[in-house]
Amino acid sequence: MLNIYCPHCGEHRSEEEFHYAGEAHIPRPENPAELSDEAWGDYLFFRRNPRGLHHEQWYHATGCRRFFNVARDTVTYEIHESYPMGARPSVSRDSEEAA
């Protein structure tokens, strides 16, 4: 069971307090009406689903009810960092490759 650091509560808490909320950093298109069906479908459904480093959203459902981002490895389940919405991750694919 994952142990997740909530950047708002400032504590590690067990996964049971959280809801997984999908891949992070997928902004809603500014003007959906101008998008083709393909571009809209891409936004709606298509995901990176990587084997390895994944930036994802979690919701502290039974805690502070805040959303935040987590950089996690989908194979080892290791969590590199938690960071608030709007922030940029310090661990990225590039930084991992560099390391």
Partner 1 sequence: MTQRNRLPERGRVDRSRTLRFQFNGRTYTGHPGDTVASALLANGVRLVGRSFKYGRPRGVIAAGPEEPNAILQVGTDPATTTPNLRATQTELYDGLVCSSTNGWPSTERDLTSVVGKVGGRMMPPGFYYKTFMWPSSLWMTYEKGIRKAAGLGQSPSQPDPAEYDHMNHHVDVLVVGAGPAGLSAARTAARAGARVMIADEQPELGGHLLASRATISGTPAAKWVRRQTDALAREPEVTVLRRTTAVGYHDHNFVVLSERRTDHLGPDAGGVRERLHRVRAGQVVIATGAHERPLVFGNNDRPGVMTASAVGTYINRYGVVPGERLVLMTTNDHAYHTALDWHNAGREVVAVVDTRAEAGGDLPTEARACGIRVLTGHGVIEAAGGRSVTGARVAPLSADGESLAGTTHELPCDVIATSGGWSPVVHLTCHTGDKPVWSEEVLGFVPGETRQARVCAGGVNGTYALEAVIHEGVDAGKRAATAWGFEATEMRDLAVSVAEPSQDPSMKLFLVPHHKPVTRAPKQFVDFQTDVTAAAIEVAVREGYESIEHVKRYTVMGFGTDQGKLGNVNGVALTARARGKTIPETGTTVFRPAYTPVTFGALAGMERGGLLDPARFTPMHLWHVRQGAAFEDVGQWKRPWYYPRHGESMQQAVNRECLAVRQRVGMLDASTLGKIDIQGSDAREFLNRVYTNAWMKLQPGRCRYGLMLKEDGMVFDDGVTACVDDEHFIMTTTTGNAGPVLEWLERWHQTEWPELDVCFTSITDQWATVTVTGPESRNVVAKLCDDIDFSREAFPFMAWREGTVAGALARVFRISFTGELTYEINVPADYGMHLWEAVYAAGEPYGITPYGTETMHVLRAEKGFIIVGQDTDGSVTPEDLGMHWALKREKPFSFLGQRSLDRSDSRRRDREQFVGIRPLNGEAVLPEGAQAVENPSNPVPKRTIGHVTSSYYSAALGHSIALGLIERGHDRQRERLHFMTSDGRLEEAELCSTVFYDPDGARQNV
Partner 2 sequence: MANRYSGFGLFRHALRYHENWQRAWRNPTPKTHYDVIIIGGGGHGLATAYYLASQHGITNIAVLEKGYLGGGNTGRNTTIVRSNYLWDESGQLYEHAMKLWEGLSEELNYNVMFSQRGVLNLGHTLQDMRNIERRVQSNRLNGIDSHVVTPDEIKKIVPIINIDNLRYPIMGSSWQPRAGVARHDAVAWGYARAADALGVDLLQETAVTGMRIEGGTIRGVETNRGFIGADRVGCVVAGNSGVLAGMAGLRLPLESHPLQAFVSEPLKPVLDTVVMSNHVHGYVNQSDKGDLVIGAGIDGYNGYGQRGSMPVIEHTAAAICEMFPMFRRVRMNRQWGGIVDTCPDACPIISKTPVDGLYFNCGWGTGGFKATPGSGHVFASTIANDSPHPLAAPFALDRFYSGALIDEHGAAGVAH
Alpha-carbon distances of 16 from 27, 58, 60, 72, 80, rounded to whole Å: 27, 11, 9, 17, 19
Nearer to partner 1, 85 or 95 (CB): 85
The contacts of residue 9 (CB under 8 Å, 6+ apart) are 60, 63, 64
Under the criterion CB under 8 A, does residue 74 sit at the interface with partner 1?
no
Least CB distance from residue 90 to partner 2, whole Å?
Answer: 20
The dihedrals phi and psi of 48, each to the nearest 5 degrees, come to -70, -40
Under the criterion CB under 8 A, does residue 87 sit at the interface with partner 1?
no
Query: Interface residues for partner 1 in 10-39 (CB under 8 A)?
Result: 14, 19, 21, 27-28, 31-33, 35, 37
Among candidates 75, 76, 69, which has minimal Cα distance to 90? 69
Question: Which residues sit at the interface with partner 1, rule CB under 8 A?
Answer: 1-3, 14, 19, 21, 27-28, 31-33, 35, 37, 40-41, 44, 57, 59, 61, 65-67, 75-79, 85-86
